[in-house]
Amino acid sequence: MPSLFEVSAGKLAGPTTGGTVTQATNKTTGVTLNTESGQITMNNAALGAAAEASFTVTNDKIAATDVVVVNHGSGGTAGSYLVGVTAIAAGSFEITVTNVSGGSLSEAIVINFVALKGASS
How far is Cα 16 from Cα 93, in angstroms, rounded to an integer? 20
Rounded to the nearest angstrom, the gap between the alpha carbon of residue 83 and the centroid of all alpha carbons in its chain is: 8
pLDDT given for residue 118 in this prediction: 82
Our CA angle for 74, 92, 105, nearest 5°, is 35
CATH code assigned at 68: 2.60.40
Structural domain that includes position 54: 19-116
Instruction: Give pLDDT, residue 1.
Output: 41
DSSP annotation of 104 reads -
Tell me: the pLDDT tens digits for 82-116? 999 999 999 999 999 999 999 999 999 999 999 99
Could you tell me if residue 10 is inside a domain?
no
Sign of CA dihedral 30, 90, 20, 96: positive
Q: Is the pLDDT of residue 11 over 90?
A: no
Q: Tens of pLDDT along 25-70? A: 999 999 999 999 999 999 999 999 999 999 999 999 999 999 999 9
How much is the pLDDT for 67?
95
What is d(CA 110, CA 76) in angstroms, rounded to the nearest whole number?
Answer: 8
pTM above 0.85, yes or no: yes
* Residue 1 included in any domain: no
Does the residue 80 lie in any domain?
yes
Is-contact 31 8, C-beta < 8 A?
no
